[in-house]
Each structure stands twice: as structure tokens, then as C-alpha cells.
Amino acid sequence: MRNLNNIHWLYTILLMLVYVPIGAQTKNVAIHIGDTIPDGQVQLLNAGLSTATLFDYRGKWLILDFWSTYCLACIGSFPKLEHLQQQYSDQLNLLLVVSDKPGTEQKYRDFLTMRASRHMPLGLPTVINDTQLVAWFPHKGLPHVVWIDPEGVVRAITGGPPLNTENVKALITGKVSTVNDIATDHIVNEEIEKPVIYRSQLWGFDPSSPGSDNTLILADSIRTHIIMANRFLPMMLLELFRRKFPDQFTTGIVADYADKQIIVKTSKPIRAIFDRFYRLRRGEISNDLVDYFSYEVVLPKIYDVPASLAIMLADLERVFQVQIAVEKRKVPVLNLVQTREVKLKTGFPTTRSFIEVLSENGKQHLSGTNISISTVVNTINTRFNFPFIKNGTMAEDSIDLDLYLSADATWADLNLEFGKYGLTLKPTIQELEVIVISDR
């Protein structure tokens, strides 16, 4: 934080004498790109200091990252954010902001304590008991990121994906003159000035979106307007398919469409996108956003939301020359069962459930707190290249669990890790409903 001259010191002392909390200083008016953020005091956790003023952060780029304990994408980004802060500590302050109502301080203290006890301490400060920042920067999705330059001017409002090393470096080195070169603060105009009978638009990653992985549905007495913002193309297709056939996703195919229940038979270019999708989910490649798309459709009101979603799916199938269907196939399955009675109950019953996969000393560390075995199974199916695992434990208690796997681990290695918890994998061949993506 920069040194203050004598006049600034006097100004600060006067402010202290007449201090009013940040929430009472300014009307709840949203701040936009190009506006200068006013000063005010914030309450901090995990910072060494209990309070700070926004002017304390002048002189460096300030990035506000709104988060909550229910946002797994937020929690999963912590290692990346800590790395950015360490790498650019001379030019950047990264401040987490709790996107939650005031009075939840203890919940977040417990969350930080739990992470520290699991050897995953959070090394970034976080704002708590805030009412003003969320009023200045309203948002519908998380992560929600505000980029503020060293003079206190808001330069961008984005989702989580643009907050990466490439963009931060571009700003700090002056490669881009403003974050507006990276992102703006509008997704699409929700108001349609002239009557539209039908509109369908598909475009690539849109850095102007205030969030990522969003589906926005605006249905009124005139039209049905649906926007899917910045979705990885496979996720966009599968989300539409899930909405079209909800029964299969509740009774057969698992709700999060684990990769092992998707068979890609197509020879079209979309196959390469699915290959990158699987490799990204397993952490084998980084996310360069090339396979992210935004899609918007506007239809007359006679088309309700389900019908509109079905039209979106049909349009995407035509554009990418594929068809998606459910088929029954005999596939190799690893059935997870209990071999003995063990105490699997969580030691953190009041903590919000979360699970993450970390890279530690050349191994993948799957760490779960207050989670179900089903969540563990779904995560392994998504993130690791083992045969499909099916949960046959019938266990209902939430558990804490740590599994350590090398890069070349086999399912036998996984079985050894499960054995520590009285669980074992039994290989079988079963007939399952699977999603098949094939040529049209």
C-alpha cells in the first residue's frame, strides 16, 4: 500500500473522526465500468488486520472476487488466485468478498478453520459482513469479479474465467490499455426494442458476460427469451438434453452426466471438442476458452420454456451435425461396496459440503468434507480415467475423505485408497443407459 503525504494523512484523520460505516456512506447505486469507487471501510477475515479502507488499496490493481461456500467453482479457484497474488504481489491486491448476507461471519470462520485443519489454509483476505460492495456490484452468478485500476477506476466486471495469468499480466505490463480490452460489464441486452418473431444466435466465448456457465430464462407475456452464457459446448448440449429428457437423468443416467456414461461416436469436428473436454475435466490441459460458446434464442410466447429448450437442442444438433440419444449398452462397471463397518461420519457436520481435487507432490489429492459417497463417486467418474464407478454402498451419512493417486494410478490403486475407509471396488459388466453422440 502506498505512502500517504501529509495532506492525505490529515484527510484520513478527519475521516476517522466522522467515520460512518461503508454501508451508510453511499446510496445503493450500482457502480459501472469507468466509475471511480468511493472510499469506505471493510471488515476482513484472514488478513492480519480486522479492517481496511478501500483507499488503502490504491496504487495497485485491486481485484474483488465475490464468492460463497456454496460456490464450488469459487472454492476450486483458490489455488489459482493465491498463485496470482504471490506472482504479482507488487502490482496487485486480490480481495475475496463474501457474497452472503451480514451475520454469517461465524460460518466463514468455521470454513477457514476447517480448511486449515485439512492442510488447505486459505492465504487470501476476505471481506465479511458487507452490504455496500454487493450493492455497488450486483450479480446473479458466482464467481463475480470486479477489476479496479490503481487510481480506483472500475475497468471491468467479469466472471471467473477471465481472471487468469495471461489477462493479469497483460494489464500489469500495459499490453492492454484497459481491461475493457478483455471484458465489459454487459451480457446481452435483455430488452428487445422491436418485435422479434424468431431469433437464434450462437457465438464464441463472450468476455462481456458478468458470469460463466449461466442459463438465463426470461419468459413473459410476449416472448420466451433464453440465454446460455459461456458454456463449454459439451456441457451446453448435455444441459439441453437433460432438460428435454429429465426422467432419464433422475432414474437412469446420473444427474451430473458423468463422462463414463457418454459415448462419442461421431467423426465430426465436435469429437475433438469432447476429447478436450474430458482432458480438461481430468486436469490434463488448461482451459483456454476456445470451446466455450454463448447461445441465445427468442421465440413467441406460444413456445413455452421446455419447447424452446428443445428447439435450441435441435438447432445445435443441426449446426454441429450430430444427434444425441439414450441407448442401453453393456459396459464395464466398478461397483463400490462396503466391506466392513467403519466410522465414516463427518467431523464437520455444520460445514457446507465441498470436494476438490488438488495436485500435491506429483499426486492427485481428492479431498472431501461433509459429503456423500455418491458425490465422491461422481467426482471420480468426472475427474479420473477409470472405468465407470457405481455407488452400491447404500450409505447415507456424510463423510470426510482423502484419496491420494499418482498420475498413472489404476483402479487397483484407487481400490487400495478406498480400503482405508472399509470400501472396495468389484468389477462387473452391467447394462446401463448411456448418452450416445453420433453423426446425423
Domain assignment of residue 165, yes or no? yes
Domain assignment of residue 428, yes or no? yes
Q: Which residues of the chain have pLDDT under 70?
A: 1-28, 49, 72, 176-196, 206-214, 220, 248-259, 283, 288, 341-344
CA distance 175 to 228: 31
Residues 239 and 108 grouped into a single domain: no
Domain assignment of residue 188, yes or no? no
pLDDT tens figures, 219-258: 767 778 888 878 888 888 888 888 877 776 655 555 455 5
Residues 378 and 338 grouped into a single domain: yes
Of the candidates 148, 181, 214, which is a domain's last residue?
181
- pTM of the entire structure? 0.54
The predicted structure's pLDDT at residue 94 = 96
Domain assignment of residue 221, yes or no? yes
| Grid cell in block for residue 302 | 406460444
What residues pair up with 435 in beta bridges, in sequence order?
A: 262, 326
Of the candidates 281, 301, 320, which is a domain's last residue?
320
Residues 101 and 248 grouped into a single domain: no
The predicted structure's pLDDT at residue 426 = 96
Residues 18 and 90 grouped into a single domain: yes
Residues 300 and 413 grouped into a single domain: no
The predicted structure's pLDDT at residue 157 = 84
Domain assignment of residue 192, yes or no? no
Residues 303 and 397 grouped into a single domain: no
The CATH number that applies at residue 59 is: 3.40.30.10
The predicted structure's pLDDT at residue 286 = 73
Domain assignment of residue 383, yes or no? yes
CA distance 340 to 423: 8
User: Does residue 43 contact residue 24 with C-beta atoms inside 8 Å?
Assistant: no
Please name the residue ranges forming H helices in 282-398. Answer: 305-320, 373-383
Which residue is it, cell 480486522?
50
Residues 98 and 213 grouped into a single domain: no
pLDDT tens figures, 13-29: 333 333 334 444 455 68
The predicted structure's pLDDT at residue 75 = 81
Residues 175 and 224 grouped into a single domain: no
Domain assignment of residue 262, yes or no? no
Domain assignment of residue 268, yes or no? no
Q: Give how many domains the chain has, as a whole number.
A: 3
Residues 313 and 342 grouped into a single domain: no
Query: Of 195, 255, 202, 205, whose CA–CA distance to 226 is shortest?
Result: 202
CA distance 164 to 84: 8
Residues 35 and 140 grouped into a single domain: yes
Residues 144 and 51 grouped into a single domain: yes
Domain range for 303 is: 199-254+273-320
The predicted structure's pLDDT at residue 187 = 35
The predicted structure's pLDDT at residue 342 = 59
| Residue 72: CB atoms within 10 Å | 13
User: Does residue 248 contact residue 241 with C-beta atoms inside 8 Å?
Assistant: no
| Residue 12: CB atoms within 10 Å | 15
Of the candidates 129, 148, 181, which is a domain's last residue?
181
Residues 40 and 174 grouped into a single domain: yes
